[in-house]
Structure 1
Amino acid sequence: MLFYIFAILAILSGAFMVLTRNLLYAGFSLLVTLLSLAGIYVLLFADFIAVTQLMVYVGGVLVLILFGIMLSSRVHDKSVLSENVNTVWGPLVSGLLLVGLGYTILKAEIASLPWLLTADTDVLGPQKSTVQSIGIKLMTDVVVPFEVASLLLLIALIGAAYIATDKPKV
């Protein structure tokens, strides 16, 4: 039941994000979409991917997009609106894709897959969380690339803030 709530929320906010003309509303709709996807990952017991979704996309990328929209939302006292709204092609292609995926899922007979029939009832086994093992791996074996990636993201954030500021006229 909870999966369907998150799925409907993701679909509706994604559709609103595509169809709205206000960029700020689209950014906040993207926030709801990404949060609902993180909820779906939690329900799938993919806890590391859910935390990564929250930290990277919601905490980093989306905040950067929202700051960019809010810092540049008024150009000569005109609100920034999207020029192109896909009122015909966007919903048409999305609907055809939805029908095609639904048909494929119904014809796939997922319940009769051999690896699902032989699986035990305890899917997770003795390991209940993947965060601890992945965290240990990140902080021991690949700590240098992890820190280099964090420095690159910090430099990108500083550069975006610099570009968004008003420069004094000389």
Structure 2
Amino acid sequence: MSYLTPYTVIFYIFAAITVLSAAFVVFTRNVIYSAFALLFTFFGVAALYVFLSADFIAVTQVVVYVGGILVLLLFGVMFTNSIMNAKPKSDVLHIIPGTLLLLAMIGALLYTFYTTHSWMPSETMLQGSIVERIGFETMSRYVLPFEMASILLLAALIGAAFLARFDKPANHE
């Protein structure tokens, strides 16, 4: 029995792309390079969702994070006047607390890995489309939290538009 199947090799390639691009996001000083590395991180996470048979979440990852948040971040960085006149750089701070947190997370993951007795998938399979099930649950049992989230997002959008268009009075001293 061989553990190195093509499926496993492809999984490790996507996992490596995700981890390496995430490390590049954290450790690079150029904000634009960091944003483009974040693109590979988001796509790598979406590919890992596909490997988990979570196709809907993978598509949502690409649409929301790559199509929305990352593009918004890039436009925000590129169209800011102070950014256009100077090279955008960020300082990599807090290396010691970050390293301690990294070691704690690795320790927790290794503890979970070695204390879990069975990593085999469940024998029970979901019936029907997962997208259909998500839609049914969203519009039946979770309709109130869904509507509350939409009202919260609407309030945030109105607040952001108000702050962006608000003319501040000039200081006359």
TM-score, reference length from structure 1: 0.68
Q: Which runs of 5+ in 2 are unaligned?
A: 1-8
Question: For 1:100, which of 107, 117, 121 is the aligned residue?
Answer: 107
- Given that residues 6 and 36 in structure 1 are in contact (C-alpha distance below 8 angstroms), is that contact kept between their aligned partners in structure 2? yes
Three-state SS of the structure 2 residue aligned to 1:79 is coil
- Given that residues 35 and 73 in structure 2 are in contact (C-alpha distance below 8 angstroms), is that contact kept between their aligned partners in structure 1? yes
Taking the TM superposition and a 5 Å limit, the aligned residue runs for 1:29-68 are 29-68=37-76
Taking the TM superposition and a 5 Å limit, the aligned residue runs for 1:19-168 are 19-72=27-80, 74-75=82-83, 77-82=85-90, 84-86=91-93, 88-89=95-96, 92-93=99-100, 96-97=103-104, 99-101=106-108, 103-108=110-115, 110=116, 112-113=117-118, 119-120=122-123, 123=124, 125-127=125-127, 129-139=129-139, 146=146, 149=149, 153=153
Q: How many percent identity over aligned positions? A: 43
Three-state SS of the structure 2 residue aligned to 1:6 is helix
Letter of the 1:93 partner, please give it.
L
Q: Give per-residue Cα distances to partners, 1:65-100, cap 9 Å, x unaligned.
A: 121111126447212211x21484377336524641
The verdict on how the C-alpha distance between 1:155 and 1:62 changes in structure 2, with shifts beyond 3 A counting, is farther
Three-state SS of the structure 2 residue aligned to 1:85 is coil
Letter of the 1:89 partner, please give it.
I
- Given that residues 19 and 86 in structure 1 are in contact (C-alpha distance below 8 angstroms), is that contact kept between their aligned partners in structure 2? no
Aligned-residue RMSD, C-alpha: 3.7
Q: Which runs of 5+ in 1 are unaligned?
A: none
Name the structure, 1 or 2, with higher relative contact order (CA <8 Å, separation 6+).
Answer: 1
- Given that residues 41 and 50 in structure 1 are in contact (C-alpha distance below 8 angstroms), is that contact kept between their aligned partners in structure 2? yes
